[in-house]
Structure 1
Amino acid sequence: MIIVGKVIPFVNRKRELSSLNNFFNSDRAELIVIYGRRRIGKTELIKEAIKGQKAAYFFVEQALEKDNLDSFKEIISKTIDNPLIAKADFTWEELFQQIAKEEKLIIILDEFPNLITENKTLLSKFQKIWDEILKNTTIKLILCGSSISMMESYLLDHKSPLYGRRTGQLFIMPLKAGYILDFGVDSIEDAIRVFGITDGIPEYIKDVCYRLNSGERLEEVFQQDKVLFAEAEVLIKSELRDPTRYFKILKAIAFGNTKFGEIANYTEFPAPTVSKYLSNLINLHIVNESYPVLVDKERTRNRRYHLSDNYFDFYFRFIYPNKSEIISTDRISGFEADYNRYLGRIFEKVSEEFLKLNTDMLPFRFNRKGRWWFRDKEIDIVALNDNTREILFVECKWSSLNQNDVKHILELLKQKSGHLRWNNDNRIEHFGIIAKKIQDKETFRAQGFVAFDLDDF
């Protein structure tokens, strides 16, 4: 159920707001790079951070350089209350010379890559502006952008004229699942169902919650006239050439082909092609590499590939392969049952987050955690403490379990745990289960097991 009519405040981002506040209060010039995928909430974060501050926010349009410069002059003119600036025929350097006279003025250039696309020599101009005009002032310059490839190559790469000049950077990540409750969802189960589609992307969460408030069912929020129907393709096309090959690789991963060989077999692409495309997707934070916990990443090929957020996962699992059916019928056959199965792996992410936030509810504090696998054996979560030699094995189930179900799962978990080689002769083992609902979970807790269900979240 969604609470109708709830006003959604700015949600979380406490760490990012604290970092920006520290930058703003410093007694030196700051060059701050803020980047992250579209809809992640970069602009809202900046607007929240500059409340009560003297700041000039400028959204860089996909326009001619002169038009952007003229618009920027107008904003600066109003911000520092100097109408002559708007009328002056300033260059970028001359305009920033006027800006440099101010104390702790915050300048935001949002979607900065749009400026560079029109004229790449501007990077060298901004290098000069920083080195010769701003460096010894108290001006705070924020360069923000959504194109990860362009932001990293233009601003963070060692070949960039601005390399080494930034004083801070924020890569904005999705919100954690628990924060979806702040968007108007009144149960953790509903929050997880929304999270499986939207991940922690604020704009997607707002859109889905609004539609559910309006009486739509979950399978209606991605129909062809809705934002989520095509957003993934728009994002990928904005970053990559030849997107069709990337789409096939992403579809392969979304359907559970997470090993390199499985992806190559599914796509029928040559191994060098798969390797190159996966590398590009990893660099863009669309795909993640993962390794079994305790494994030396540098010495193993036992890696798996996963889509970096749930929206991409959902899109290439449900929307992309079913577009024709969605367009013709506005639905996907068997969606509810299939989506419920899909939520099993989403629940693993949520459960891992829950354990991280609630270590005081565990028998020990862990310093490492992750998924583990070896050949045909897999354990959803393994958490351990290298100092105390304690280890916790956890299975996650997106279902309601009776006592017999739990006993059977825990027995299998104990059998699999013996295959994990870590202090096997001298370790303290703990076993646990996290599920949607556990019958008589206090009985299992009394027996020394870790047992959580949604009532604990």
Structure 2
Amino acid sequence: MRPFVDRREELKALKERLTSNNFELIVIYGRRRVGKTRLALEAVKELPHVYYLAVEGDNLRHFRKTAERVFPEVRYSREDWEGTLHALKEKIIVIDEFPNLIKENPRVLSLFQRAIDLDLSSSSTKLVLLGSSVSMMTEKVLSYKSPLYGRRTGSMKLRPMGFFSLREFFPKASWEELVEVYGMTDGIPFYITQVKLPFWEWLEKELSSPVSFFRDEVDFLLRYEFSEVSTYKRILEAIALGKTTPKEIRDFTGLRHSDISPYLRNLIETELIVREVPVTGKRTSKKGRYYVADNFLAFWFRFISPNLSRIEEGTFSAEEIRESYNHYLGFVFEKVARQFLIELNKAGRLPFAFTKIGCWWHRGEEIDLVALNERERKALFVEVKWKELREREARGILKDLERKSELVGLESWEKGYGLVAKEIEDKARLREAGFLAWDLRDFDKMVRLTSTS
């Protein structure tokens, strides 16, 4: 097993709760593969505990058997949930994939509520519930309609790790290779830990392997949330291929407007897609665009899904992905650049502290990143390029950025301009001219800054 990486704040917070003298009901949820189980197990590994992975049926019997191996006195308790939980009073109980208990018996929520209210709440029992079905955990466990509403003492929505966490997994990799890896894995621990370097050699072997996780992974993810898997796959495919407006998605999928909105809402709720509006607009703006939330799904629909038959036949090569991968990484690098600027912002290494960052577009004009401090009326406009830039080309991009910034409508604001690229020739001269300029060589400096701040 690889060493535990990142999640330091989450691990610290969880450990503090697990060692308190109070009753704790902690809910940890997030999409599959994001690292919930590993986080929970890391937090309890030095503490006596029961860990149980819920299955599709007969969970009470399986749970009791698991608990008895750790705490033999459980075998003498009443053989129902309340009796079993009473026998584990003052103990740490971790139940993974809690939605499976709910599917088997919806009354389990009320049974847990009763056990907590009448017995456990006055003790130091720790009950940790994990779930990968975001929709079910939100609706059945966290919502005000849930019998457990008001009982939880803490909840944690686990999200993918940031790009810069990849350095801890691959300390000897170049930043360029890490961007390539991130384009396939995002910050999802399961996918990251599958990768071996060199990346392209590993990908070639993975595509030719008869047991590759690529083949069934997306169906596996979607079945956890939805019954109409084929419809959701079609919508995700449309968005991954650049159909970002409702009309474009509707035209691609053939779904009517009245049909598509609920699907989009469900995909947003489960965090498989995100809806973005121009950074200066309101959340209700009709200019909203939809994007696939993580790079793995984007990669899969872009490169794997269209070639599944050839992958099965053994006639598809990773070299075919590599030929167009730099173009694909353009959008991926925008995500990396946004995280880079956020880290610089935290470290106080920008001309001003921004409170909001996002992209901007209007009538065919786009700016990759705009960082705003609305109180101080300051704006930083940034273009992102996954390419090597000579000074002259970089100046041309920055000059055009100045032109586009005038279209944003922040006439009385103080403005700054910057560029993030794979490599920029003579950044010093651009900085002397009053521009901000960063490339991959600056990432090491940023990591050192943030690690000491």
TM-score normalised by the shorter chain: which range applies? Answer: over 0.9
Deviation at 1:208, TM superposition (A): 1.4
| SS of residue in 1 equivalent to 2:214 | helix
Match of 1:399 in 2: 387
Q: Is the 8 A contact 2:235 2:249 kept in 1?
A: yes
RMSD of equivalent CA atoms: 1.9
Q: Is the 8 A contact 2:277 2:283 kept in 1?
A: yes
Among 276, 293, 297, the alignment partner of 2:279 is 293
1:343-369 CA-to-partner distances (Å, cap 9, x unmatched) read 000000000000110123322111111
Deviation at 1:290, TM superposition (A): 0.7
1:16 aligns with 2:2: no
* Structure 1: distance between partners of 2:193 and 2:67: 34
Match of 2:232 in 1: 246
Alignment-mate amino acid for residue 375 of structure 2: N
Match of 2:293 in 1: 308
Larger CA deviation: 16-25 vs 61-70: 61-70
Among 19, 28, 31, the alignment partner of 2:25 is 31
| SS of residue in 2 equivalent to 1:365 | coil
1:204 aligns with 2:198: no
Among 77, 82, 97, the alignment partner of 2:86 is 97
1:411-444 CA-to-partner distances (Å, cap 9, x unmatched) read 111111111012x1x2221111100000001110
Among 244, 249, 261, the alignment partner of 1:258 is 244
Q: How many residues align?
A: 438
1:86 aligns with 2:71: no
Q: Call closer, same or farther: CA 1:219–1:417 in 2, change over 3 Å.
A: farther
1:419 aligns with 2:407: yes
Match of 2:253 in 1: 267
Any residues of structure 2 matched to 1:335-414 within 5 Å, and which?
Answer: 335-359=321-345, 360-414=348-402
Larger CA deviation: 373-382 vs 56-65: 56-65
1:112-146 CA-to-partner distances (Å, cap 9, x unmatched) read 12222222211111110111111111111101111
* Structure 1: distance between partners of 2:381 and 2:338: 12
TM, length-normalised to structure 1: 0.91
Q: Is the 8 A contact 1:192 1:347 kept in 2?
A: yes
Match of 1:4 in 2: none
Deviation at 1:85, TM superposition (A): 2.6
| SS of residue in 1 equivalent to 2:385 | strand
The runs of at least 4 aligned residues of structure 1 exceeding 6 Å deviation read none
Match of 1:3 in 2: none
Q: Call closer, same or farther: CA 1:220–1:303 in 2, change over 3 Å.
A: farther
Match of 1:187 in 2: 174
Any residues of structure 2 matched to 1:34-49 within 5 Å, and which?
Answer: 34-49=28-43
TM, length-normalised to structure 2: 0.92
Alignment-mate amino acid for residue 141 of structure 1: L
Q: Is the 8 A contact 2:383 2:420 kept in 1?
A: yes
Larger CA deviation: 180-189 vs 305-314: 180-189
Match of 1:70 in 2: 64
Deviation at 1:56, TM superposition (A): 2.1
Q: Is the 8 A contact 1:34 1:42 kept in 2?
A: yes
* Structure 1: distance between partners of 2:17 and 2:433: 51
* Structure 2: distance between partners of 1:35 and 1:444: 45
Deviation at 1:73, TM superposition (A): 3.6
Unaligned runs of 5+ in 2: 444-453
Deviation at 1:89, TM superposition (A): 4.8
| SS of residue in 2 equivalent to 1:419 | coil
Q: Call closer, same or farther: CA 1:52–1:417 in 2, change over 3 Å.
A: same
Q: Is the 8 A contact 1:220 1:330 kept in 2?
A: no
Match of 2:446 in 1: none
| SS of residue in 2 equivalent to 1:234 | helix
Among 142, 146, 149, the alignment partner of 2:132 is 146
* Structure 2: distance between partners of 1:88 and 1:356: 53
1:177 aligns with 2:163: yes
Match of 2:420 in 1: 434
| SS of residue in 1 equivalent to 2:224 | helix
* Structure 2: distance between partners of 1:175 and 1:222: 25
Larger CA deviation: 232-241 vs 157-166: 157-166
* Structure 2: distance between partners of 1:421 and 1:261: 27
Match of 1:324 in 2: 309
* Structure 1: distance between partners of 2:262 and 2:74: 49
Deviation at 1:220, TM superposition (A): 4.2
* Structure 1: distance between partners of 2:232 and 2:204: 25
1:362-389 CA-to-partner distances (Å, cap 9, x unmatched) read 2211111111111111100001212332
Alignment-mate amino acid for residue 355 of structure 2: N
Q: Is the 8 A contact 2:78 2:84 kept in 1?
A: no
1:388-418 CA-to-partner distances (Å, cap 9, x unmatched) read 3221100000000001210111111111111
Larger CA deviation: 196-205 vs 379-388: 379-388
Q: Call closer, same or farther: CA 1:410–1:303 in 2, change over 3 Å.
A: same
Q: Is the 8 A contact 1:220 1:331 kept in 2?
A: no
Larger CA deviation: 192-201 vs 155-164: 155-164
Q: Is the 8 A contact 2:279 2:359 kept in 1?
A: yes
Alignment-mate amino acid for residue 348 of structure 1: E
Match of 2:449 in 1: none
Q: Is the 8 A contact 2:28 2:156 kept in 1?
A: yes
Deviation at 1:278, TM superposition (A): 0.7
Aligned-pair identity in percent equals 40
Alignment-mate amino acid for residue 420 of structure 2: I
Deviation at 1:69, TM superposition (A): 3.7
* Structure 1: distance between partners of 2:143 and 2:92: 24
* Structure 1: distance between partners of 2:40 and 2:350: 37
Alignment-mate amino acid for residue 170 of structure 2: G
Q: Is the 8 A contact 1:204 1:228 kept in 2?
A: no
Q: Is the 8 A contact 1:219 1:335 kept in 2?
A: no
* Structure 1: distance between partners of 2:48 and 2:62: 21
* Structure 1: distance between partners of 2:60 and 2:14: 30
Q: Is the 8 A contact 2:77 2:87 kept in 1?
A: no
| SS of residue in 2 equivalent to 1:405 | helix
Alignment-mate amino acid for residue 52 of structure 1: E
Deviation at 1:90, TM superposition (A): 2.8
* Structure 1: distance between partners of 2:198 and 2:289: 38
Q: Is the 8 A contact 1:322 1:332 kept in 2?
A: no
1:277 aligns with 2:263: yes
